[in-house]
Structure 1
């Protein structure tokens, strides 16, 4: 089969012929239909310091995907041949304290699909049946392919109550855009999205946010004044990993405000903890998705009319993977999809 492989400890990927995976105990074999390119995949292609420390080539990369089940191991239940599925890319041990307590998203022994084991940028991928999410209602394959990052957005957005609240989202990348769509859909009063990319801010405007703010031109305080907000934001979703973004968010939260932080900083940076203390702010780190409450919420949000189609801006054949990766790395697009049937 064809697969995108990190063959050596150096920049680049190659579309190579590799053996088809063999279904193990408790697993399913999935014919991949669509995949989404994640920031993690860009780090892997560039083979930066994180990738050099984390990866052990050769490795098939990729973790955002959807596909059709074509084989199941004996004893697997609730998954059938022909099902359209997405995959939870965090494989957990099932035996640690958090796993045993039902907090699988906090497993200390998590193995990442496409990072620590062969991934989904391939014509076929195997996955434990417990990591397979079956789409019981119709969903577009392009949307099904991005359930992994959509889950990050939903996990972050639903961390704190949002109905009637004023929400600040820093970072209009694909996950920030999806979080903005969720916040608007579930009844936030005002949703403000900040970034420095005019193209991504234009996408945010299409999602119905109250204000898409270019912080290279205007401050968050300017945006608050425009919307008539006097006391600051109730909920903050930090999606950029940018030090200035978090500092600006902290400075513009109401007393008692709550911040969910998904953006992953490249290095340590200073935070004004005096304001965190005196304003009694809550900052909670978010990683991945709750298994599988977040997945249930995602499916229900789509059933109730949440439209993610504006977030998907570019589509490529898997054969044109270099162009797809370059587009995703431009910082000007929404989600980039690769079609493995074309």
Structure 2
């Protein structure tokens, strides 16, 4: 089968022929239909310091996907050939304290699809049945392919109550855009999203945010005045990983405000902890998706009319992967989809 492989410990990816995976005990074989390009995939392609420390080559990359089930191992129930499925890319041990308590998203032994084991940028992929999400309600395959990052957005956006609240989102990348769509959909009063990319801010406007703010031109404090807010933001969603974004967020939160942090900083940085303490601000780190409450929430949000179509801006055949990756790396787009049927 065809697969995108990190063949060598150097920058680049290679489209090559590899053996089709065999179904193991408790597993499901899936014919991949669509995949989404993630920031992690860009790090792997560039072979930056993180990738050099993390990867073992050769490796089939990719973890955002949807596909059609073609085979299930004996004993697997509730999944059948022909089902449209997405995959939870965090494979957990099932034996640690958190797994045994049902907190699988906190497993300290998590293995990442397309990072620590062969991934989904291929014509076929296998997954444990416990990591397969069957779409019981019709969903567009392009949207089904991005359930992994959509789950990050939903996990972050629903970390704290949103109804009637004023929300600040720093970072209008694809996950920040999806979080903005969720916040608006579930009843936030004002949703402000910040970035320095005019293209991404325009995508945010299409999603119905109250204000898309270019912080290269105006400050977060300006947004408070523009929207007639006097006490700061109730909820912050930090999606960028940039030090100044978090500092600006902390400085503009209301007393008792709550911040969920998904953006992953490249290095340590200082923040104003005196304000965090005296304003009694809550900081909560977010990683991945809650298994499988977040997945349920995603499906219901779509079923009740949440529209993610503006977030998907470009589609390519998997054969044109280099152009697709270059487009994703531009920092001007939403989600990029690779079609494995084209």
TM-score by length of 2: 1.00
Q: What is residue 129 of structure 2 aligned with on the other side?
A: 129
Shift of 1:307: 0.2
Shift of 1:134: 0.1
Shift of 1:174: 0.1
Shift of 1:249: 0.2
Aligned equivalents of 1:161 and 1:304: distance in 2?
Answer: 19
Note the 1:1-342 alignment, pairs <5 A: 1-342=1-342
Secondary structure of the residue that 2:9 maps to in structure 1? coil
User: In the TM superposition, what whole-angstrom CA distance separates every residue of 1:216-241 from its partner, at most 9, and x where no partner exists?
Assistant: 00000111100000100000000000
Aligned equivalents of 2:230 and 2:314: distance in 1?
Answer: 39
Aligned equivalents of 2:45 and 2:14: distance in 1?
Answer: 10
Shift of 1:316: 0.1
Aligned equivalents of 1:261 and 1:137: distance in 2?
Answer: 30
User: In the TM superposition, what whole-angstrom CA distance separates every residue of 1:46-83 from its partner, at most 9, and x where no partner exists?
Assistant: 00000000000000000000000000000000100000
Aligned equivalents of 1:281 and 1:7: distance in 2?
Answer: 46
Secondary structure of the residue that 2:109 maps to in structure 1? coil
Secondary structure of the residue that 2:247 maps to in structure 1? helix
Aligned equivalents of 1:52 and 1:229: distance in 2?
Answer: 46
Shift of 1:178: 0.1
Aligned equivalents of 2:68 and 2:216: distance in 1?
Answer: 44
Secondary structure of the residue that 1:254 maps to in structure 2? strand
Secondary structure of the residue that 1:258 maps to in structure 2? strand
Q: Which runs of 5+ in 2 are unaligned?
A: none
Shift of 1:243: 0.3
Aligned equivalents of 1:124 and 1:340: distance in 2?
Answer: 10
Aligned equivalents of 1:119 and 1:241: distance in 2?
Answer: 25
Runs of 4+ residues over 4 Å off in structure 1: none
RMSD: 0.2
User: In the TM superposition, what whole-angstrom CA distance separates every residue of 1:98-142 from its partner, at most 9, and x where no partner exists?
Assistant: 000000000000000000000000000000000000000100000
Secondary structure of the residue that 1:33 maps to in structure 2? strand
Q: How many residues align?
A: 342
Secondary structure of the residue that 1:153 maps to in structure 2? helix
Secondary structure of the residue that 1:43 maps to in structure 2? helix
Aligned equivalents of 1:266 and 1:274: distance in 2?
Answer: 23
Aligned equivalents of 1:9 and 1:266: distance in 2?
Answer: 21
Aligned equivalents of 2:173 and 2:77: distance in 1?
Answer: 37
Aligned equivalents of 2:334 and 2:324: distance in 1?
Answer: 12
Secondary structure of the residue that 1:192 maps to in structure 2? strand
Secondary structure of the residue that 1:66 maps to in structure 2? strand
Aligned equivalents of 1:304 and 1:280: distance in 2?
Answer: 35
Aligned equivalents of 1:53 and 1:128: distance in 2?
Answer: 26
Q: Which runs of 5+ in 1 are unaligned?
A: none
Aligned equivalents of 2:225 and 2:110: distance in 1?
Answer: 44
Shift of 1:195: 0.2
Shift of 1:257: 0.1
TM-score by length of 1: 1.00
Aligned equivalents of 2:96 and 2:50: distance in 1?
Answer: 26
